[in-house]
């Protein structure tokens, strides 16, 4: 916990504007409902605007122009981002370098940067390179010839297999696996001949991989995840995929082999994506959707198989009324038969 600061100091730190009493002392952060007089809170979603009236917070971070309900506020254009920055300010401190600790198993051919921390029980293979200030926690296993950049964090029991390469500031959550063999077999008439997976995985700068997620190495070339992309827990990225920059891939998504994902793509939870297809930039795919073909850029899709999100919304609302619709059609069928019969009589008259 850091030392208390005045609302005015925090406003200056964020480049925001104080409304009310800039001298109020803030010692921590909390949600609207739980914040006390020494806490700062934030309003990002207009839906909760009226809660500002009720909060006990010492100050509220909010967008300019909202109703302050008489509270002391700091106005910033992006209160959610501001709150995130204050969380960093109040609650985090840079990892103190611990060096290579006793019990860490580091090959003497590994190249270890300065300011690193390698914890007991971590294993670093031959010719592996660990960049400056990178932290490798207990039980993480770095195979031979891996290269990890600067300021990375590799959490406990994560595995980086041979020859894979990580950029700077990557974060690998516990149990994630980078560079497992791609799922490639050639049917040989009776069973399956395993195709050697001789490629690698490259994670560019600022990529984050969630707990127990898996990124398979390419068959021949490179499975690549570009700068800034964030991947949640239990996600599967198959061999030869190319994932763009600044994507958000939510938990339990699975992407099949050789698929290309553009930049700024968001895949919601449990989405499944077929192999050998292309997803355009800025695409948004709704939760549990199944993508069986390429998707043009700048649009939202849902369903399994996916269609434009709006159309999916419409049909999924009608879906539960399907049995009723079927009944209506049966009734209509009878009424028409009746009409046809009497029409015949009518015509015969």
Binders of a second copy among residues 280 to 339 (CB under 8 A) are: 287-288, 290, 292, 303-305, 307, 311-312, 314-323, 325-326, 328-329, 332-333, 335-336, 339
Do residues 156 and 173 touch, judged by C-beta distance below 8 A?
no
CB of residue 70 vs a second copy: minimum separation in angstroms? 25
From residue 157, give the alpha-carbon distance in Å to each of 204, 223, 249: 21, 22, 22
Whether 239 is catalytic is yes
Binders of a second copy among residues 11 to 50 (CB under 8 A) are: 29-31, 34
In this complex, which beta carbon is closest to a second copy, that of residue 70 or of residue 194?
194
Query: Of 5-13, 62-70, 167-175, 277-285, which part binds a second copy (CB under 8 A)?
Result: 167-175
Question: One symbol per residue from 110 to 149: x for binding a second copy (CB under 8 A), - otherwise; what is it?
Answer: ---------xxx-x-------------xxx-x-x------
Peptide bond into 305 cis (omega under 30): yes
Binders of a second copy among residues 73 to 102 (CB under 8 A) are: 78, 80-81, 83-85, 87-88, 91-92
CB of residue 322 vs a second copy: minimum separation in angstroms? 4
Do residues 284 and 301 touch, judged by C-beta distance below 8 A?
yes
**Considering only CA atoms, which of 10, 9, 4 is closest in space to residue 82?**
10
160 φ, ψ to 5°? Answer: -115, 115
CA distance linking residue 146 with residue 166, whole number of Å: 8
Binders of a second copy among residues 205 to 224 (CB under 8 A) are: 206, 208, 210-214, 216, 219-221
In this complex, which beta carbon is closest to a second copy, that of residue 52 or of residue 164?
164
15 φ, ψ to 5°? Answer: 70, 35
Question: How do beta strands 260-261 and 147-148 pair?
Answer: unpaired
Instruction: List, by residue number, the catalytic residues.
Output: 239
């Amino acid at each position: 916990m850091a030392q208390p600061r005045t609302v005015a100091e925090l406003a200056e730190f964020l480049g925001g504007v104080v409304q009310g009493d800039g001298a109020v002392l803030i010692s921590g952060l909390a949600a609207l409902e739980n914040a006390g007089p020494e806490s700062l809170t934030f309003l990002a979603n207009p839906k909760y605007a009226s809660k500002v009236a009720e909060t006990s917070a010492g100050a509220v971070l909010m967008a300019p122009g909202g109703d302050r309900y008489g509270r002391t506020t700091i106005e910033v254009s992006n209160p959610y981002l501001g709150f995130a920055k204050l969380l960093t300010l109040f609650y985090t401190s840079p990892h103190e370098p611990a060096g290579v600790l006793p019990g860490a198993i580091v090959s003497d051919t590994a190249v270890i940067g300065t300011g690193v921390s390698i914890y007991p029980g971590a294993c670093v293979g031959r010719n592996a390179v660990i960049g400056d200030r990178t932290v490798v926690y207990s039980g993480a296993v770095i195979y031979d010839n891996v290269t990890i950049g600067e300021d990375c964090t590799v959490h406990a029991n994560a595995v980086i297999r041979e020859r894979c390469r990580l950029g700077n500031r990557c974060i690998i959550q516990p149990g994630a696996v980078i560079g497992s063999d791609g799922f490639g077999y050639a049917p040989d008439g009776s069973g399956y001949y395993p195709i050697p997976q001789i490629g690698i995985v490259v994670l560019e700068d600022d990529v984050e991989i969630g707990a127990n997620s898996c990124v398979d190495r390419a068959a021949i070339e490179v499975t690549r995840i570009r700068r800034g992309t964030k991947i949640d827990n239990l996600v599967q990225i198959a061999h030869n995929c190319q994932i763009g920059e600044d994507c958000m891939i939510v938990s339990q998504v699975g992407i099949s082999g050789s698929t290309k994902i553009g930049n700024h793509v968001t895949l919601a939870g449990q989405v499944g994506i077929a192999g050998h297809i292309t997803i355009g930039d800025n695409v948004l795919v709704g939760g549990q959707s199944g993508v069986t073909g390429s998707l043009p850029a700048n649009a939202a899709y849902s369903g399994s198989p996916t269609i434009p999100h709006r159309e999916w919304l419409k049909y999924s609302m009608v879906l539960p009324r399907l049995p009723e619709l079927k009944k209506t059609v049966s009734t209509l069928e009878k009424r028409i038969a009746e009409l046809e019969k009497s029409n015949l009589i009518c015509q015969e008259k």
